[in-house]
Structure 1
Amino acid sequence: MDMLDRARRYLELHGRLIDRLRFEALFGGGSRERVLDVLRCYQNTDGGFGNALEPDLRGAGSQPEPVEVAFWILDEIDAFDSPTVRAACDYLAAVSAEDGGVPFVLPSVRNTPRAPWWETADDPPGSLVPTASIAGLLHKHGSTHSWLPAATAFCWSRIAEIGETSPYEARAVVTFLDLVPDRDRAEAEFARLKEAILATVALDPGTTGDAHFPLDFAPEPLRLPLFTQDALGTHLDALAAAQSEEGGWTGNWPMWTPLVAHEWGGYVTVHRLKTLRAYGRLKG
């Protein structure tokens, strides 16, 4: 049984409907419209996303981070022309802080079941996580929504302040700098921050725990010269070898309740297959 067949079997046993449909749309000739239909079920009337689309946020109410998850799915099925996007941007505009960014998480999370790291202040400021990734994806697809200029200005301002950074922030910054249209400014900031970004990366594929590897920063080839081809090749070899006997991959962060291990497993499995294909390691 080849890699895709094993992954399909894994998803049949463990994956959410949305991740099974993502797999079929991307690797089995399935309907992308069906992915969009299911994704809409996670979207609330305020335009935001909740309902455990991001498995560690179990509540029904909208939060900023699930918008990023939704946008990555819309990106992979080339559906940024969907009204879903404008509704989500309207939501982002409604919950943005005065600085123009959306908070990492909103105080309403306190009344919902969630992973223990989802905590926030009463009046949280904007955060590059997830503002930078969301803004980058909107720029990639040529969005003209009114939320984007202020969010972009926020990202430039916060990026200019960075000296040292953390893995999740660095990943968001890389996404923004790789996709934003102002290439001269992006490349200048990247040159300034490259060493700080690399300091957050686990270059040894055998690193255990909640490590962040090159392919987490570059799940498909980047315009920015962050990693050498040798480093990427080493990690692609390790990624292919990490497919479990059941056929899936999982996250290396704490699985705080059994259900999220299944939900993340399906999501991550499709994500890893996309990465292997993006680098020519997987046909289909």
Structure 2
Amino acid sequence: MREAAARFVEQHARPLELAQYRVFFAKGDPNEVVNALLPFQNADGGFGHALEPDNWNPDSTPITTNDALLRLYDAGALDLNSGTAKHIAQYLLSGAEFDAHAMRWRFAVSGNIDHPHAIWWERRGDGIFGWNPTVSLAAFLVCMHAEGPWEALLTEAFDTLAQSGASSGDELTCFMFAWELLTREQIEGIIDGERARTAIIRAIDATVCRDTARYSTEYVTTPSTFFRSADSPFLVESFAPFIQAELETLPARQAPDGGFDISWQWHTDYPEAFAQARNWWRPRVTLDKLRFLTAFPDGV
């Protein structure tokens, strides 16, 4: 099963996902991921160009730039002293798509509608969706020692998480990245690290679908959304039954070609673009499932 998934990624992935695969499974150089991201980066330092295949807006957006940061960190390639990091900070500090009144970066921007996209990338109202991607981007700027209200935003974000939980798995992934980056950089005095970790664990528990029968048939939040390593600081024993349930559903969800498929539609009128996006998504989804399988080779 894992061998077939690996072959699928090797044969069908874009250069970026292939570079990530090599880092995770073939002792690849993390700088390959940095280089593979360059075609998606704009002159302003932000990212666009269908880095996330659901949104073909070529212009820089906060959410796409956040995706780049998460990929760099995941591959061990986020060097805060690098030109890449400084260029990203330059974009974020420009104020582009930052709502100064709400003190949030926009999740969806107006320009998305001019390009093939999934319906969730159409801006509604102010375009803000909870703390995604604000908590990630604020943590990055704090670690870059950039001037601005970023520490206050982090305090507010983690207080909100402790009180109300997360609105989605994607938002919670941003909190996990923020916590891990602050911990890695030994940034203290902004959040209570243990209280924040406990809040993240509680939010994961509330966000993962508890009806495991739906894992193989619906687009629901499963443990592999959060756990692609057995060393996660947020992995606790109570998640074991859900991890085991997902591991048991994966063989039935693997396609004959070895890959895994997406379980969503765009709900917008771009059939040809959606077909191409699906071809880009499948290796990314397959890589995530492969990492999950490898993290728990004997179950839990």
CA offsets, 1:89-113, max 9 Å, x none? 2212222332543221222223222
What whole-Å deviation, never above 9, does each CA across 1:44-95 have from its counterpart, x for those lacking one? 0010000000111112111111112212221233222232122112212222
1:155-170 matches, within 5 Å, as: 155-161=154-160, 162-163=163-164, 165-167=166-168, 168-170=170-172
Write out per-residue CA displacement over residues 192-218 of structure 1, whole angstroms, 9 at most, x where no aligned residue. 676555333213333132210122133
SS of residue in 1 equivalent to 2:260 = coil
Is there any run of 5+ residues in structure 2 with no aligned partner, and where? 268-273
**Residue 31 of structure 1, CA deviation:** 4.5
* C-alpha separation in 2, matches of 1:176 and 1:239: 29
Query: How many residues are matched?
Result: 276
Structure 2 Cα separation of the partners of residues 146 and 194 of structure 1:
29
- Could you say which residue in structure 2 is the equivalent of 1:267? 284
Using the size of structure 2 for normalisation, the TM-score is 0.77
Q: Calculate the aligned-residue CA RMSD, in Å.
A: 3.2
| Whole-Å separation in 1 of the counterparts to 2:207 and 2:74 | 26
Structure 1 counterpart of 2:42: 44
Letter aligned with residue 150 of structure 1: P
How far is the alpha carbon of 1:175 from its aligned partner? 4.0
Query: Counterparts of 2:138 and 2:250 in 1: how far apart (Å)?
Result: 28
Greater CA drift, 105-114 or 28-37: 28-37
Say if 2:234 is the partner of 1:224: yes
Opposite residue 7 of structure 2, the aligned amino acid is R
- Where do residues 1-284 of structure 1 align in structure 2 (5 Å cutoff)? 3-4=2-3, 6-81=4-79, 82-94=82-94, 95=96, 96-98=98-100, 99-121=102-124, 123-125=126-128, 127-135=130-138, 138=140, 143-146=143-146, 150-161=149-160, 162-163=163-164, 165-167=166-168, 168-177=170-179, 179-181=181-183, 182=188, 185-189=192-196, 191=198, 197-207=204-214, 208-220=217-229, 221-224=231-234, 227-239=238-250, 242-254=253-265, 257-279=274-296
Which stretch has the larger CA shift, 211-220 or 57-66? 211-220
Asked if 2 retains the 8 angstrom alpha-carbon contact of 1:187 and 1:224, the reply is no
User: For 1:15 and 1:255, how far apart are their aligned partners in 2?
Assistant: 21
Normalising by structure 1, what TM-score? Answer: 0.80
Change (3 A) 1:31 1:121: same
The answer to whether the Cα contact below 8 Å between 2:5 and 2:258 also exists between their aligned partners in 1 is yes
Could you tell me how far 1:280 is from its partner in structure 2? 5.1
The verdict on how the C-alpha distance between 1:177 and 1:79 changes in structure 2, with shifts beyond 3 A counting, is closer
**Cα separation, 1, equivalents of 2:223 and 2:233:** 14
SS in 2 for 1:70: helix
State, as a whole percentage, how many aligned pairs show the same letter: 25
